[in-house]
Amino acid sequence: MKKYFIFMAILLVACSTSSTEQMDLPPDQVDIPNNPSLDHHDALLIGNLNAAEVNGDRCFWIETAEEKITILWPQSVYGTWDPPLLVDSESEETFEVGETIRLTSRDELTPEKCHVGDRVWVAGEMEKE
């Protein structure tokens, strides 16, 4: 299990780096954890987008009436901080803090940073509710 986690952590860093190098990104872009696998979706999460600094990192997560959920965001999504919002570079849609959004998922991983809740949600597709 430890080898799998280390491999996934390395893959997350590699995928995040390669995807950000190809885009023309804003100067206030926030480095958020990403989902390395986007091929199959088994679950749906609907909740409110939140943002705050957590242990020195600028983080985005989903909050429902019951819990806060750490998200590994799709590769196409990046965050900005002034104001805090998420941007999907593929659809060019923006998601503001406080909005209700819908995320699909397929499995769970543990991120290196921005772990704010009891669960982790590996996001697939993202749209406004």
Digit-coded pLDDT (tens) for 20-71: 445 677 888 887 876 555 454 567 889 999 999 999 999 999 999 999 998 8
Alpha-carbon distances of 44 from 110, 125, 127, rounded to whole Å? 19, 10, 12
Strands 94-96 and 68-72, sheet pairing: unpaired
**Residue spans per domain, the chain:** 2-128
Q: How far is CA 1 from CA 6, 35, 101, 118, in A?
A: 9, 18, 32, 20
Q: Provide the percentage of residues in the chain whose pLDDT is more than 70.
A: 70
What 3-state class would DSSP assign to 9? helix
> 3-state class of 92 per DSSP?
coil
Is residue 1 scored above 70 in pLDDT?
no
